[in-house]
Structure formats: C-alpha cells, structure tokens
Amino acid sequence: MTVRPDATGRPGLCSTFCRELREPLTGTAIVASGWVVVEQPGPWGAKAPTHSHLDPEFGGKFDDACKKADVRFGLIRAPGRHSDAIGLSHQVYVASTMPGRSWLLGGRVDDPEALRTLDLDAVARGDRDAVVASLPGLSLVDHPVMLVCTNGKRDECCALLGRPLVKALSAAAPGRVWEANHLGGHRFAPTATVLPAGTMHGHLTAEGAVNVLAAADRGQTVLTGLRGRSTWTKHGQAAEIAVRRLIGELSLDALRVAGEDPEAVTVWHRDGRSWTVPVTSVAADPPRPESCGKEPFAMSILQAGAPVPGEAR
C-alpha cells in the first residue's frame, strides 16, 4: 500500500497511515470516570507528570493515585503563553463525566501540590460537594472546555497537528481551549477531549473543533471523529456510538451503557428504548504503527455490529 503525505507533507507520520487506512476511531477513548488537569507551563517530556517543571515526586505519586481511583490526570498549558512562565498561579479543572450528573469545577492554586488534598474517590463517584470540601478553592464552571494534545515529546503528530489547531481555536473560543500533554491515540491527531462530558475526538479540523464545542454548549456531541466517552469501557464506547449513528441521537445524556458481556453491550435510551450491540475485536489489516517511530504491527481494533432493539423499559 502506498501512503500519501498528509497536510504536513510527511508520509512517515502515524496519523498519515491512520487516515489513509480509514481506521475507525470508535472505542479508542481513554477510560476514566473523572478528570483532573492542572496548568503547568514549561517543557513537557514524554511522561509529563514526571518529566516537566512539575515536581516529579509529586507528579508521579499523584498520577498513580488518580489511576487507582479511575481518574485521569494530565497537564495543560494556555495557548500563547511563554513556555517558561514561572511565578504564576495554576489553573485546575476537575470533572465528573457521568451522564445526567456530569459537572466541571475550576479554580487556581499557587502550587500544584495543593491537589494532594483532593478527594479522588469523590471525583470518581461524581460527588461534587465532597470534592469542593476537599479543595475549597474550586467552583462550578458553567461552560465546557476543550483540551487538545500538543505533546511532541510523546508523539510528533500531536505537536505538528495539535498546535496549529490550538492556535486557531484560541481565537475562535478564547479561554476555553488548552494544550494538553497526552490524550492517547496519537495516530488520530489532532485529538481533543471535551470536559465535563469526557467525549474524545480525533482527526479534528479547526471548523470541526468549533462545532464540537458549540454542540457541547447545547448538551450534545458530534458524531464525526467521535472516539468515545471516557465514562464507558472501550466496548461500551463503540456500542454507544453505534446506537447514536443508528437513531441520530446527539444528546450527551440520552444514552447510557447499561451492561456488557464478552460478546455484546446493552445501551439504554432515557425514553425507555434499549439495544443490544455486538462488539468484537479484530486484527487490523494491513499492519500499521501505533505511534510515530514505531514499526507497523497487526493491532486489534473494535467493530460494533448492528444494534438489535430490545424490549422497552
């Protein structure tokens, strides 16, 4: 197979292979019940929590604690801010992604180590009051924000494709777009996450990203480039998107993954309808690189079959 260059003119990029092969994005989002991100200016290494100007001991321990609590931890930077800015307070966002009770809290701390007091279990279960009690400087944010991966040390696609997207979006949606250190799925660059819903998106254009934010303002999502909602398992993400495409449902809170087994996932609609969606893992053909600089291999990708209607609840 001949892979043509993408917009960067570089045929070796993993995102070029992904686009040329039309690899499906469904079921590729991070899995996490909640998110915690903190502003950390300066350079980021491949593992930003321990390879940045953030204290590495704190970053490593806090990242581990978040993983144990099923919470995603990440670093963010403001677009256009000097990369070595110091002596500034740090923006913090904390999000719960559960449909019907998702929320976004924000605030500023003088030192990221203030996050040590944050009740991560409360973040995971969506207990907003307990979260605020553990870090009183947080308050409700009434608009969604978008995080765009730009960490070139992790994968060059994210820097080459993510940074121009951030620049364009910062003019279209000032104060609502942040650079992020790692959102998984380098080959889907530019990638982004919208909080508080936790929807993840790939192959974004500036126009597409503006549409995603506008949809989020309406309590909706956009199906083009949708990787999944981090609330669900990867099988659940694929099944939910399959139902959305079947019935044209865009409302973020209309669908819920109600259960799954090795062969199928049950998705409920708030109006009482339900579907059973077969989801299988298949070997991708031909092999492709997972990220830039890696050799192609026959990775597994998820395929969702046609949703089968169930009995109304």
Token look-up 């765009």 returns: 148
Look at residue 289 and tell me whether its pLDDT is greater than 70: no
Token look-up 């380098």 returns: 186
Share of the chain above pLDDT 90, in %: 60
Query: Using H for helix, E for strand and C for coil, what is the string for 54-119?
Result: CCHHHHHHHHHHHHHCCEEEEEEECCCCCCCCCCCCEEEEEEECCCCCCEEEEEEECCHHHHHHCC
CB 131 within 8 A of CB 105: yes
CB < 8 Å & 24+ apart, contacts of 2-7: 7/161
Spell out where the chain has E strands.
34-39, 71-77, 90-96, 103-109, 139-140, 145-149, 177-180, 192-195, 199-201, 226-229, 255-260, 264-269, 274-283, 300-304, 308-309
Can you give the pLDDT at residue 188?
A: 82
Helix (H, G, I), strand (E, B) or coil at 217: helix
Cα 80 off chain centre by? 22
b/e string for 68-84 if b means 16 or more Cβ within 10 A? ebbbbbbbbbbbeeeee
- Is the pTM value of this prediction over 0.85? yes
Can you give the pLDDT at residue 7?
A: 47
- pLDDT tens, residue by residue, 227-254: 999 999 999 999 999 999 999 999 999 9
How many whole angstroms separate alpha carbon 168 and alpha carbon 136? 34
How many whole angstroms separate alpha carbon 194 and alpha carbon 198? 5
- φ/ψ of 59, rounded to 5, equals -60, -45
The DSSP output letter for 43 is: -
How many whole angstroms separate alpha carbon 64 and alpha carbon 60? 6
- pLDDT tens, residue by residue, 48-104: 888 888 999 999 999 999 999 999 999 999 987 655 656 679 999 999 999 988 999
Tokens of 192: 């982004």
Residues forming a β-bridge with 267: 257, 275
Tokens of 21: 């092969």
- DSSP element (H, E) containing 19: helix 14-20
Token look-up 């929807």 returns: 199
Helix (H, G, I), strand (E, B) or coil at 194: strand
Can you give the pLDDT at residue 150?
A: 87
Look at residue 285 and tell me whether its pLDDT is greater than 80: no
Can you give the pLDDT at residue 302?
A: 86
b/e string for 267-296 if b means 16 or more Cβ within 10 A? bbbeeebbbbbbbeeeeeeeebbbbbeeee
Helix (H, G, I), strand (E, B) or coil at 292: coil
